């Protein structure tokens, strides 16, 4: 009975020691991982520290650029308008006509026909007589 | 003559002793069960910590290029300076065109 008591006590101590070893090793591993996590968090914070001032700088400069662009292309349009020659006023052009005038037909002259007493070229046109020379 | 001490237990004492032994064994089993639960929970914590560590590693890798933001800001600043040069040039040309 005494031996059984000793066995029970030894079993309790051995169980406690075993579980203490297991939990201790697990907690050591967790501590190592947590230390690594803390180091990574510090790295992330270090990386993120430059984000805010950099983005503010970009936003400020980009705003200035965006505000200046309309002025720039307004000036460029003014230059284009200034150097572009004004288009000439379009002239209303009629149909093309020969410079020698209307073409003369010689067919009537060849047959001695003079419509209305006028030849086409005026060669056979009777000279108008003055009234004083008219026969009475 | 030496006095002889009687170490024999009475039945009541024997019963109490056995009760203590059995109770101690039960306590050992209960402690083992509770410590098993504790080990399982600590293992879960270990796994979660590993997951957090991996996530933090990914976050660190994602934020590793934030140093380029400063270079980008410098580039935008150079664009602004070049835009000012364009403004001066266009102002001169526009003045000559209008005159």
Query: Is B72 in CB contact (< 8 Å) with chain A?
Result: yes
- ipTM for this model: 0.70
CB B83 within 8 A of CB A67: no
Residues of chain A with pLDDT under 70: 103-104, 115, 117-136
Report CB contact under 8 Å: B90, A4: no
Residues A90-112 pLDDT 10s: 888 888 877 777 766 777 778 88
Gap between the Cα atoms of B66 and A51, Å rounded: 6
Distance CA A55, CA A34 (A): 32
Chain A's closest residue to B97, CA to CA, is A82
Helix (H, G, I), strand (E, B) or coil at A3: helix
Q: Per-residue pLDDT tens for B12-47? A: 988 898 898 888 889 888 988 998 999 999 999 999
- Compute CA distances B48 → A32, A105, B61, B65, whole Å: 13, 115, 20, 27
pTM over 0.95: no
What are the sequence ranges of the domains in chain B?
A: 11-98
Degrees (nearest 5) of the Cα angle A125, A129, A132? 180
pLDDT-based confidence at B63, cuts 50/70/90? very high
Compute φ and ψ for A58, nearest 5 degrees: -65, -40
Cβ distance B60 to A43 less than 8 Å, yes or no, reads yes
The residues, any chain, with a CB within 8 Å of residue A129's CB and separated by 6 or more, are: none
Q: Nearest chain A residue to B96 by CA: give it.
A: A79
- E strands within B1-99? none
> Residue B1's pLDDT is what?
53
Which of B32, B39, B64 has the CB atom closest to A47's CB atom? B64
């Amino acid at each position: 009975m005494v031996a059984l008591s000793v066995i029970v006590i030894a079993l309790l101590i051995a169980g406690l020691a075993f579980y203490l070893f297991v939990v201790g090793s697990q907690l050591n591993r967790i501590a190592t991982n947590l230390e690594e996590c803390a180091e990574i968090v510090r790295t992330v914070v270090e990386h993120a520290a430059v984000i805010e001032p950099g983005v503010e700088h970009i936003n400020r400069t980009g705003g200035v650029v965006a505000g200046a662009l309309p002025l720039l292309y307004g000036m460029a349009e003014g230059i284009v308008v200034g150097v572009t020659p004004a288009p000439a006023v379009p002239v209303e052009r009629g149909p093309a006509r020969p410079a020698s005038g209307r073409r003369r037909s010689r067919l009537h002259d060849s047959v001695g026909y003079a419509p209305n007493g006028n030849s086409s070229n005026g060669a056979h046109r009777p000279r108008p007589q003055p009234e004083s020379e008219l026969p009475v | 003559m030496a006095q002889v001490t009687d170490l024999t237990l009475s039945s009541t004492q024997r019963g109490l002793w056995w009760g203590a032994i059995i109770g101690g064994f039960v306590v050992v089993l209960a402690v083992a069960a509770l410590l098993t639960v504790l080990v399982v929970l600590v293992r879960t914590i270990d796994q979660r910590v590993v997951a957090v560590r991996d996530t933090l590693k990914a976050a660190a890798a994602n934020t590793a290029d934030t140093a380029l933001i400063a270079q980008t800001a410098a580039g935008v600043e150079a664009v602004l300076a070049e835009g000012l040069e364009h403004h001066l040039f266009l102002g001169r040309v526009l003045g000559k065109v209008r005159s």
